[in-house]
């Protein structure tokens, strides 16, 4: 039985539309204009137990709104959702004891107190047995290497250290479902890597279900096998990460290193030249034309090295977002 | 242990931990807290001089609204005690600010009741305040002991303590209700300004409400704000006695209950409406 079941879920917001300038501000006092923002437009989704699913999409695509709906923070405008059999927006304590939400841009710890005080409060709120609490806290602080920071006020921690503490607070009650909303936002490369490694290890050991939103493809590639792509509130893709490139990228990136330093040949007829710096040329080539192009070049030139790669995931997804937004805008019009 | 008893013990553990952590948080900024607490006593001195001047000045009245000069100053000191229980600085505005900033989300995903949490947090703030302010209060009352004509009898003292407890509850739930309006308006500072203005005059903080002329006096004595300052002070001074005292305590309990319901209802519908838009 799926852990997360969503059918036709929609969420619309009515937002105040303010024009620029003082006159518009005064006019707004008497005649307010509103517009409806359809943040989530009838999505269907199921997630099985133990899956680590990435929610990808541009800003305002509906990723965070979906997590807010699934964690019961907001009520939907339509549709249904069940997480572990619970309707999230009923906000039953029994449900709230079984999941956790971590938002990279929001602090849930007590700002002026050491994190261990927030942990102790979580122990009481989630009714965690004292022995289990000590064991879990010690295990998590050990894994994230923050034991020595437990007594330091949260406001004095670095962003990376704070996020580690946020994760510990969220995991103390051993949730079966974890919603992660951009957990590595603003972190440096080392802190991002540490958190990735921790999440990967934790999920593999505990087999919990995790839904992750992130703009960092390194997070997604390191952690998730399944990706759900949302654009303008609609699911555009649901499948494997590898499948995204196969499905949405019609080209390969071919890099050729010529043996002689002489003038580089003109390869524009085979595709789009991305970079040409002797002795190397990098170009985009339509997939069906790759074999033909390589045969032609190899027969005419001495090539010392050649590589044929899929385009970077970020690039494919960015292209896909643009085309999806364009087609949805056309459809809406 | 029965299931009900186990549930209560578990809940008490949560309440106690929240209370303890809120107290710890309150003690972090010691300097600001101590200064804020002590500065609240300054107006007592100025008001004492003001009302002394009104009564003692040439041709001054023997009593105003049934209060002599001594009673007037004693009343004013007692309203300070009442307001130490009923005033909730920053409560409504912080609820609205948390709604606006999205910080309120952290309470919505945890198995805890938002209003209970806010209540315990405020209780902790008050306990710390009393711990720090008791000595200065005692000193001020000792210096001004000449304005009081002995202690009231035990039933009156009991009624006074009861009215103080209820003024704390009423003040909390009244301001919490105003804060919950933040789910609709997001910004409630103007609303709070109006409320504070009415509170200042109609709670009896500035003067005993009995000095008002009719029909204002009757109108004001029917509204809930009087229970935040006037009523406890009047009870202590024996200005409200017998059936009138019972009626007053019942009225205070009714208003308290009404605002408990109002705060709960506003939170229920506010959370349904909450959009957490944009973050």
* Boundaries of domain holding B75: 3-273
Task: Show which of residues 93-112 on chain A sit within 8 Å of chain B, judged by CB atoms.
Answer: 93, 96-97, 99-101, 103, 105-106, 108, 110, 112
Considering the domain boundaries, does residue B279 fall inside one? Answer: no
Considering the domain boundaries, does residue B246 fall inside one? Answer: yes
| CATH fold label, A44-245 | Rossmann fold (3.40.50)
The per-residue b/e assignment along B68-90, b for 16 or more CB within 10 angstroms, e otherwise, is bbbbbbbbbbbbbbbbbbbbbee
Confidence of residue B277 (pLDDT cuts 50, 70, 90): low
For residues A187 and B170, the model is more confident at: B170
Q: Of A213, A235, A237, A239, whose CA–CA distance to A226 is shortest?
A: A239
Residues 6 or more apart whose CB falls under 8 angstroms from that of A221 comprise A241, A313
Residue of chain A minimizing CA distance to B110:
A96
Q: A40 in helix, strand or coil?
A: strand
Give yes or no for A296 touching B (CB within 8 A). no
CB contact under 8 A, A103 and B21: no
Give yes or no for A257 touching B (CB within 8 A). no
Confidence of residue B278 (pLDDT cuts 50, 70, 90): low
CB contact under 8 A, A124 and B272: no
Q: Give the model's pLDDT for residue A331.
A: 66
For residues B121 and A260, the model is more confident at: B121
* ipTM associated with this complex: 0.78
> Distance from A46 to chain B by nearest Cα, in Å?
21
Return the structure tokens found at A282: 């990098």
Q: For B54-83, what is the mean pLDDT?
A: 80
Return the structure tokens found at A309: 């790669």
Contact B51, B73 (CB under 8 A): yes
Chain A residues in contact with B103 (beta carbon < 8 A)? 106
Give the tens place of pLDDT for each residue, B260-271.
Answer: 999 999 999 999
Chain B residues in contact with A118 (beta carbon < 8 A)? 21
Task: Show which of residues 111-130 on chain A sit within 8 Å of chain B, judged by CB atoms.
Answer: 112-113, 117-118, 120-127
pTM of the entire predicted model: 0.83
Give the tens place of pLDDT for each residue, B195-239.
Answer: 998 888 899 888 888 888 888 888 888 899 999 999 999 999 988
Residue of chain B minimizing CA distance to A170:
B110
Spell out the per-residue pLDDT of chain A, length 333, in tens.
799 999 999 999 877 777 777 777 777 777 777 788 888 999 999 999 999 999 988 888 889 999 999 999 999 999 999 999 999 999 999 999 999 999 887 788 988 889 999 999 999 899 999 999 999 999 999 999 999 999 999 999 998 899 999 999 999 999 999 999 988 888 888 888 888 999 999 999 999 999 999 888 878 888 898 999 998 889 988 999 888 877 777 888 999 888 876 677 778 888 888 888 888 889 989 888 899 889 988 888 888 889 998 888 778 888 777 777 777 667 666
For residue A310, the 8-state DSSP code is P
- Helices B114-143 and B91-101: angle between axes, nearest 10 degrees: 150
For residue B212, the 8-state DSSP code is S
Confidence of residue B251 (pLDDT cuts 50, 70, 90): very high
Q: Give the model's pLDDT for residue B134.
A: 86
> Distance from B84 to chain A by nearest Cα, in Å?
25
Q: Give the model's pLDDT for residue A332.
A: 63
Name the residue ranges covered by the structural domains of chain A: 44-245, 250-309
Q: Of A57, A89, A40, whose CA–CA distance to A233 is shortest?
A: A40
Considering the domain boundaries, does residue B278 fall inside one? Answer: no
Q: Give the model's pLDDT for residue B57.
A: 66
Chain A residues in contact with B102 (beta carbon < 8 A)? 106
CB contact under 8 A, B105 and A68: yes
> Does the pLDDT value for residue B7 go beyond 80?
no
Class of domain A250-309: alpha beta
Considering the domain boundaries, does residue B241 fall inside one? Answer: yes
Mean pLDDT of chain B: 86
What total of structural domains would you count in chain B?
A: 1
For residues B10 and A165, the model is more confident at: A165
Percent helix, percent strand, percent coil in chain B, to nearest 5: 75, 0, 25
């Amino acid at each position: 039985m799926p852990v997360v079941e969503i059918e036709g879920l929609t969420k619309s917001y009515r937002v105040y539309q303010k024009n620029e300038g003082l006159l518009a501000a005064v006019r707004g006092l008497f005649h307010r204009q509103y517009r409806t923002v359809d943040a989530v437009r009838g999505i269907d989704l199921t997630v099985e137990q133990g899956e680590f699913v990435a929610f990808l999409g541009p800003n305002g695509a509906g990723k965070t709104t979906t997590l807010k709906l699934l964690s019961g923070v907001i009520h939907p405008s339509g549709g249904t959702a069940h997480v572990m059999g619970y309707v999230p927006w009923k906000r039953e304590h029994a449900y709230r004891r079984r999941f956790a939400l971590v938002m990279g841009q929001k602090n849930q710890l007590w700002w002026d107190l050491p994190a261990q005080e927030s942990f102790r409060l979580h122990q009481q709120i989630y009714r965690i047995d004292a022995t289990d609490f000590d064991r879990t806290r010690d295990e998590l602080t050990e894994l994230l290497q923050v034991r020595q920071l437990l007594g330091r006020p949260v406001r004095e921690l670095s962003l990376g250290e704070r996020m580690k503490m946020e994760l510990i607070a969220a995991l103390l009650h051993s949730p079966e479902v974890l919603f992660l909303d951009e957990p590595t936002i603003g972190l440096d490369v080392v802190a991002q890597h540490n958190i990735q490694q921790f999440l990967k290890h934790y999920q593999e050991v505990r087999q919990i279900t995790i839904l992750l939103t992130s703009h960092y493809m390194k997070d997604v590639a390191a952690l998730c096998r399944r990706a759900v792509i949302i654009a303008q509130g609609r699911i555009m893709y649901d499948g494997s990460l590898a499948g995204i490139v196969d499905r949405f990228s019609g080209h390969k990136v071919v890099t050729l290193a010529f043996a002689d330093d002489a003038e580089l040949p003109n390869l524009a007829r085979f595709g789009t030249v991305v970079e040409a710096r002797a002795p190397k040329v990098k170009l985009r080539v339509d997939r069906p034309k790759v074999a033909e192009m390589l045969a032609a070049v190899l027969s005419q030139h001495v090539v010392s090295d050649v590589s044929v790669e899929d385009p970077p995931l970020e690039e494919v997804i960015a292209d896909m977002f643009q085309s999806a937004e364009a087609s949805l805008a056309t459809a809406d019009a | 242990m029965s299931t009900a008893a186990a549930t209560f013990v578990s809940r008490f553990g949560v309440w106690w931990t929240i209370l303890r952590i809120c107290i710890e948080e309150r003690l972090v900024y010691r300097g600001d807290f101590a200064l804020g607490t002590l500065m609240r006593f300054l107006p007592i001195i100025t008001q004492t001089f003001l009302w002394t001047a009104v009564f003692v000045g040439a041709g001054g009245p023997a009593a105003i609204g049934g209060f002599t000069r001594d009673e007037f100053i004693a009343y004013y000191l007692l309203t300070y005690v009442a307001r130490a229980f009923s005033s909730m600085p920053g409560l409504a505005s912080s609820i609205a600010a948390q709604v606006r900033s999205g910080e309120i989300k952290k309470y919505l995903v945890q198995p805890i009741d938002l209003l209970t949490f806010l209540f315990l947090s405020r209780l902790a703030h008050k306990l710390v305040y009393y711990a720090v302010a008791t000595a200065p209060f005692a000193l001020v009352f000792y210096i001004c002991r000449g304005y009081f004509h002995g202690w009231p009898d035990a039933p009156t003292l009991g009624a006074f303590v009861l009215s103080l407890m209820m003024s704390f509850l009423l003040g909390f739930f009244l301001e919490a209700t105003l804060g919950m309006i933040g789910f609709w308006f997001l910004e409630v500072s103007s609303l709070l300004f109006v409320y504070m203005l009415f509170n200042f005059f109609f709670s009896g903080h500035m003067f005993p409400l009995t000095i008002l002329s009719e029909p204002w006096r009757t109108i004001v004595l029917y509204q809930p704000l009087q229970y935040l300052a006037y009523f406890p002070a009047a009870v202590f001074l024996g200005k409200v006695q017998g059936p009138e005292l019972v009626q007053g305590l019942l009225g205070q309990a009714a208003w308290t209950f009404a605002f408990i319901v109002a705060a709960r209802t506003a939170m229920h519908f506010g959370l349904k409406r909450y959009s957490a838009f944009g973050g």
